[in-house]
A and B are shown apart, each in its own frame.
Chain A
Amino acid sequence: MDLLNALIAFLNYVFVPGVAYGSQLALGALGVTLVYGILRFSNFAHGDTMALGAMATVLITWLFQSWGISLGPLPTALLALPFGILACIGLLLFTDRYVYRFYREKKAKPVILVIVSLGITFIYNGVTRFIIGPDDQNFFDGERFIISAREFKRSTGLEEGLSFKTTQGITIITAVIVVIALFWFLNKTRAGKSMRAYSDNEDLALLSGINPERVVMITWIIVASLATIAGVLYGLDKSFKPFTYFQLLLPIFAAAIVGGLGNPLGAIAGGFVIAFSEVTITYAWKKVLVYLMPENLEPSGLVQLLSTDYKFAVSFVILLIVLLFKPTGLFKGQSV
């Protein structure tokens, strides 16, 4: 029985949050990795792109809520998501047309593009704060739990409860669907294949008649969709606050690099590696260990390796280790 309790505590506090957070990071890292693969620079504005896309979705959700439209037990935000994605696509294509394209035609060094993306970060961040303000916004509605801790305890008679939030379920399911769709697109369609060709060898792709502007446009459309979905899922699961998205930049980059920058499969793996390391290292294991250890050996402290405030440090250390020992990442990314 104790073993079961320990398992449930582990699932409840480590595994389920880890999977949900990992899915969000993976979606974010996919966006970063695609920009890197096709446009060849590290997009520092990605965090704020997520914030902007999520903001558009939040606003439309509120509009729908005021009209009385809802999805019943599911959050209305899912209904608003396609519109948020459209807004974000429009924004990114606009940005590309009037900002990035100039530097692409000039064949500017990647680091200049990184600085340009910093300027974009400022602007996106300013726009987000300008429209919705810097505070927490709540846009979640519908059923809160798929499995609530109390019901779980009642039906199983265990001491530990397992709660599975609707948002966690939605996050995981959406992430799986999005990833399958993305890989189908990259591997099976003509546009996807031209993207991969362009990423592998730009000159060769140009020679074989691939239109680079089209590839770039498709990339931005995909990146906008991924960023909005990731932003909305994170906002639903935790809370929507413009500043947190900027802070997500570090774990997202860590995930993309750990997996191998430019490699979509790596971005997903990296997202989960980072998420699970963050959760396991900052979780207080006392709750689990209490069930596993004999009574006289029970831990006195919280058995928490690092306080949760250091979760950025965890992703950073993993990033450093990978950079030092395997610079191309776990999956072979583009060379360093």
Chain B
Amino acid sequence: MNGTLKNTMLFGIIALMIIYVGLVQSWNSALLIVAMGLISSIMALGVNLQWGFAGLFNVGIMGFVALGGLAAVLIGMPPTEGGFAAGGMGIIGALVLGAGTILAAIQVMKRMDHGWPRTIAVIAVLIIGFFLFRGLLDPAAERIEEINPAQTGYLGGLGLPVLIAWPVGGLFAAGAAWVIGKTALGLRSDYLAIATLGIAEIIIAVLKNEDWLTRGVKNVIGVPRPVPFEVDLQNSTAFVERAAGLGFDPVEGSTLWVKVLYIALFATVLVIFMWMAQRALHSPWGRMLRAIRDNEVAAEAMGKDVKARHLQVFILGSAICGVAGAMMTTMDGQLTPGTYQPLRFTFLIWVMVIVGGSGNNLGSVLGGFLIWFLWVQVEPMGLWLMNLITSGMAEGSALKDHLIESAAHMRLLTMGMVLLLVLRFSPRGLIPEK
């Protein structure tokens, strides 16, 4: 069996599984799986760029995804009236001052000679800078948060079309990746992992607590959409007629149509990234990255700039995750910082990359769809299984209730098993690297 046939079959199986969900459960859930599968695939592509191409172990995907979500809010939401006047300048001033403090500290580090005076000078610069920063930021943030706290209480966004947020989300993530890469990429792989894990938690903490920016845990809802609303479609006679012609009632037809539009948008983005990633893989640049991955010392001896290449690919991969994050927030229509959890947004993506086949772009896409499908469908499957196991037990027994209730937690268990089994018996994944 040749490779193409095998890959077609693998994708065919996933397509059949999704169609089965459409037939048995509902077409809405099937299309939702496709849409989220596309987003997951894009994230997996980004991680594959870092891990599969370059061997960089990034466990901060959640942070980059959340930054993309932030971009959707900052670009798409309308500005809060009077928000900027109340504290906008203060916030900008504080942020500039904060960046200036860090730059100043770095300059002091570079200019002064090694020794105690330097350490004290750096600490002094940082402490003074921190207090000035807080002094400027806190009152401004307070004034902004006072504006109609039940509805807004944050700066709002720029009110631009939300599609612009997608590349901007990539830029945000790229910026964060640059900072992390500059500091942590020189360290060994375990340390990069811990550094990225930490930065992701910090990004989430900022989103949760800086109410002036994201409303914190009060969530931003009603992020504008690039596609029409279902209600508007249902009120448009032309659409209702067209749906009726295809045999759909207006409500179902409109929800399906909206999802189809999203899927078209996401698929476009995926195709673009896929094309770029494939070109990168087969370019001299891609070969250089793999050479570095396989033998860093030899590559360095050949005159390759290992650190610069690592930084480059780290930024690119993170940016892709940022774009996917912006897309996800756009589809959800809301930014809910409380829902970002590392198991869901970081480690699940890792399972996708490893199961699909690290180093292979097509594998990442396959892994994205397959693992997302499992993530969504394991719960009903687990419930079914538990019902089967407990069918012999007495009605209302404590064990039966507990087992059925716990079925919801089957997904983590299943994901772990899938990851371990693939690592053990097929470490190169479903579609191995050529």
Assuming A114-B190, A126-B413, is B406 touching A99 (CB within 8 A)?
Answer: no
B420 at the interface (CB under 8 A from A): yes
Contact code string A246-260 (vs B, CB < 8 Å = 1, else 0) = 110110011001000
B413 and A130: CB pair below 8 A? yes
Per a CB cutoff under 8 Å, which of B194, B209, B350 touches A253? B194
Per a CB cutoff under 8 Å, which of B187, B189, B198, B416 touches A119? B416
A316 and B342: CB pair below 8 A? no
B65-73, B200-208, B310-318 - interface stretch: B200-208
B197 at the interface (CB under 8 A from A): yes
Closest to B353 in A: A115
A129 and B412: CB pair below 8 A? yes
A316 and B208: CB pair below 8 A? no
In the assembled complex, the Cα of A118 lies from the Cα of B411 at a distance in Å of 15
Q: Please provide the chain A residues from 283 to 336 with a CB less than 8 Å away from any CB of chain B in the complex.
A: 305, 307, 309-310, 312-313, 315-316, 319-320, 323-324, 327, 336
Closest chain-B Cβ to A274's Cβ sits at a distance in Å of 12
Closest chain-A Cβ to B139's Cβ sits at a distance in Å of 11
For B423, list chain A residues within 8 Å (CB).
Answer: 112, 115-116, 119
For B268, list chain A residues within 8 Å (CB).
Answer: none
Q: Is the interface of A mostly helix, strand, loop or mixed?
A: helix
For A116, list chain B residues within 8 Å (CB).
Answer: 420, 423
B199 at the interface (CB under 8 A from A): yes
A323 and B195: CB pair below 8 A? yes
For A120, list chain B residues within 8 Å (CB).
Answer: 416, 420
A42 and B194: CB pair below 8 A? yes
Q: Please provide the chain B residues from 346 to 381 with a CB less than 8 Å away from any CB of chain A in the complex.
A: 347, 350-351, 354
Residue from B190, B342, B409 with most neighbouring chain A CB atoms (10 Å): B190
A134 at the interface (CB under 8 A from B): yes
Q: How many residue pairs bridge A and B at CB < 8 Å? A: 132
B201 and A250: CB pair below 8 A? yes
For B350, list chain A residues within 8 Å (CB).
Answer: 115, 118
B410 and A130: CB pair below 8 A? yes
A127 and B187: CB pair below 8 A? no
Closest to A312 in B: B201
In the assembled complex, the Cα of A110 lies from the Cα of B411 at a distance in Å of 27
For A319, list chain B residues within 8 Å (CB).
Answer: 194-195, 198
A123 and B420: CB pair below 8 A? yes
In the assembled complex, the Cα of A118 lies from the Cα of B349 at a distance in Å of 12
In the assembled complex, the Cα of A134 lies from the Cα of B343 at a distance in Å of 14
A111 and B410: CB pair below 8 A? no
A127 and B413: CB pair below 8 A? yes
Contact code string A53-83 (vs B, CB < 8 Å = 1, else 0) = 0000000000000000000000000000000
A168 at the interface (CB under 8 A from B): no
B411 and A42: CB pair below 8 A? no
B195 and A126: CB pair below 8 A? no
Q: Please provide the chain B residues from 386 to 419 with a CB less than 8 Å away from any CB of chain A in the complex.
A: 405-406, 409-417, 419
For A119, list chain B residues within 8 Å (CB).
Answer: 416-417, 419-420, 423
The contact size tier of chain A is 35 or more
In the assembled complex, the Cα of A312 lies from the Cα of B57 at a distance in Å of 21
A130 and B187: CB pair below 8 A? no
A122 at the interface (CB under 8 A from B): yes
Contact code string A97-134 (vs B, CB < 8 Å = 1, else 0) = 00100100000001110111011111111110111011
B193 at the interface (CB under 8 A from A): yes
B416 and A126: CB pair below 8 A? yes
Closest chain-A Cβ to B104's Cβ sits at a distance in Å of 17
A310 and B205: CB pair below 8 A? yes
B208 and A336: CB pair below 8 A? no
A41 at the interface (CB under 8 A from B): yes
In the assembled complex, the Cα of A116 lies from the Cα of B189 at a distance in Å of 15
Per a CB cutoff under 8 Å, which of A99, A115, A309 touches B354? A115
A313 and B409: CB pair below 8 A? no
Closest chain-A Cβ to B2's Cβ sits at a distance in Å of 29
Residue from A134, A309, A324 with most neighbouring chain B CB atoms (10 Å): A309
Per a CB cutoff under 8 Å, which of B188, B198, B351, B410 touches A250? B198
Assuming A111-B190, A327-B187, is B342 touching A246 (CB within 8 A)?
Answer: yes
For A247, list chain B residues within 8 Å (CB).
Answer: 201
Residue from A119, A253, A309 with most neighbouring chain B CB atoms (10 Å): A119
Closest chain-A Cβ to B327's Cβ sits at a distance in Å of 25
Residue from A118, A257, A305 with most neighbouring chain B CB atoms (10 Å): A118
B384 at the interface (CB under 8 A from A): no
In the assembled complex, the Cα of A240 lies from the Cα of B59 at a distance in Å of 26
Assuming A99-B420, A102-B424, is B342 touching A118 (CB within 8 A)?
Answer: no
B419 and A312: CB pair below 8 A? no
Per a CB cutoff under 8 Å, which of A110, A246, A323 touches B189? A110
B416 and A336: CB pair below 8 A? no
B184 at the interface (CB under 8 A from A): yes
B202 and A313: CB pair below 8 A? yes
In the assembled complex, the Cα of A254 lies from the Cα of B202 at a distance in Å of 14
For A124, list chain B residues within 8 Å (CB).
Answer: 416
For A131, list chain B residues within 8 Å (CB).
Answer: 406
Assuming A130-B409, A307-B209, is B202 touching A125 (CB within 8 A)?
Answer: no
A118 and B188: CB pair below 8 A? no
Closest to A309 in B: B209
B183 at the interface (CB under 8 A from A): yes
Contact code string B108-150 (vs A, CB < 8 Å = 1, else 0) = 0000000000000000000000100000000000000000000
Closest chain-A Cβ to B196's Cβ sits at a distance in Å of 11
Closest to A320 in B: B183
B248 at the interface (CB under 8 A from A): no
Residue from B59, B354, B406, B417 with most neighbouring chain A CB atoms (10 Å): B406
B413 and A42: CB pair below 8 A? no
Closest chain-A Cβ to B26's Cβ sits at a distance in Å of 27
Residue from B183, B197, B423, B424 with most neighbouring chain A CB atoms (10 Å): B423
Give me 28 A-to-B residue pairs in the complex whose CB atoms sit less than 8 angstroms apart, sorted by A's number: A110-B189, A114-B190, A118-B59, A120-B416, A121-B343, A121-B416, A123-B416, A123-B417, A124-B416, A125-B412, A126-B410, A126-B413, A129-B412, A130-B406, A133-B405, A134-B409, A246-B343, A249-B197, A250-B194, A250-B197, A253-B194, A254-B194, A309-B209, A310-B209, A319-B194, A323-B195, A324-B183, A336-B188
A interface residues (Cβ-Cβ under 8 A, vs B): 41-42, 44, 99, 102, 110-112, 114-116, 118-127, 129-131, 133-134, 246-247, 249-250, 253-254, 257, 305, 307, 309-310, 312-313, 315-316, 319-320, 323-324, 327, 336
Which 3 interchain pairs have the tightest Cβ spacing? A122-B416, A126-B413, A126-B412
20 A-B pairs besides A119-B417, A254-B198 with CB distance below 8 A are: A99-B420, A99-B424, A114-B189, A119-B423, A120-B420, A122-B347, A122-B412, A122-B413, A122-B415, A129-B412, A246-B343, A250-B201, A307-B209, A309-B205, A312-B198, A313-B201, A315-B198, A319-B195, A320-B195, A327-B187
B interface residues (Cβ-Cβ under 8 A, vs A): 55, 57, 59, 130, 183-184, 187-191, 193-195, 197-199, 201-202, 205, 208-209, 342-343, 347, 350-351, 354, 405-406, 409-417, 419-420, 423-424, 427
